[in-house]
Structure 1
């Protein structure tokens, strides 16, 4: 029986087309170049790990092949790669097939396409392959584990630059015309911004200073000044006039703070006249203050020599005046 040559030719072309389709549909049958190959062994189990490259772009896919070879008397479980991967997502995953190896072993090959999800130093983590004897029940079997090593993968946004790549020369230099008006506007705006910034800075500084101010009652300050004066021992040193000058200044400072009067800037006569016209003091305190200031003036200006008893009475009078007229409501900045 003769077979038409035309039919034979059509049959051969069909086989070729079918073979080509098989190659395209099975990525493991494509010509993948693996730059990383690692082998790991534990007893009856051998694992070969292949990775296409250590450097890829974020837009690329990474090829990975896992091949297990184990004695036929044993069973090996695949690691949960989807859960183990942190820097990659599984784009494609399939089992290529099984075949018999040497010494009654079974070789199984798995293929993966991995998609990077971030740039920088990424990693194929350590993978664990548990295995046991086929004759044992899974729940009661003694499991052993083969562990691989982690593999670092560098993921970039662009391809690594070839060391032999040279930089192209700049062909033309464009002469950029200077816009003087724009430069003036930018300079003026910068000056305005600096001025506004300085004003804001000063306002904040002033506000902080106000917040940090401390206020105390006028009588506390007066008592403190009187204690300090007593501690200077001016009377014991014979400096009576200086003692009375400071004593009257203490009381005038207190009156200024407590009653908002310009006592230190007036003569005794002017000050007493203003006190007489105002209602800030009760009549009895006005008389006490008049006696005290006139006594101080005698010592300061008339060279009057007071006795020790009069000196002590003057200090006591000043202390009592402050104590009788004190108020917590009148605070003074210190």
Structure 2
């Protein structure tokens, strides 16, 4: 029995020594002990522990009562003198005066029998029921938050008047000079623009194109379109008669576009300058009316004859003294 007792006692002491060999310490601190209302307070929790210890969920924020947490930084892990170090930093503040006490903060941890750190993930509800979890505490921290000191003996002073800055006349002169230069540049550019505009607005001399030249130019353009060759016979006859009627309006001062064929032929027959083309004009306009209004389908020779007749009508009524070749060469492009 005695031997058994000493055997158990010996192994118990070995187990206690192995546990006590696993050291851990936790310390809380602030950067100073006195603050004014609204000051930032640097609060730090530093935990030093052996590599075989695993820290579990330090609930530091739960212990920071009656004080505002401005910022919470991510924990910093490092190693110092064969020990692991875990540092938590917070920025706190308080907005009324008081003696502030941060109580000891519990730090929960485990010790691995195999000498390896265990996973720190654990639910807060299991801490009390898990016998493998141990704890240590930080120290208590005290500091004072002071209000601003107000002297009741001093007089209440009015707000200071704005400080008057003396006027620098050199700067004023420079600004005036810059303004005058800017105004001068604007006036100069405006006058130059106006002068250039007047030059560009000078109208080009108007060139009077004689009616017969304009009509022959129009017939040449119509001929190049080749309308009747494409099956557009009605369009061809409509356009060629409009050219001739416009010519009559310009050459003889007749409302040719508004008159019927018979009315126009009657006007031409009594006009001294147009009598000689009354017959050919009659054939020309009547053929066109058959195509436009009676849906007459002329043969190709009739279409060609219409262009020939139109040119004869114009050429036979050119005023005396006009050179057809020269004037057509000036205006036909």
Which TM-score band (shorter chain)? 0.3 to 0.5
TM-score, normalised with respect to structure 2: 0.35
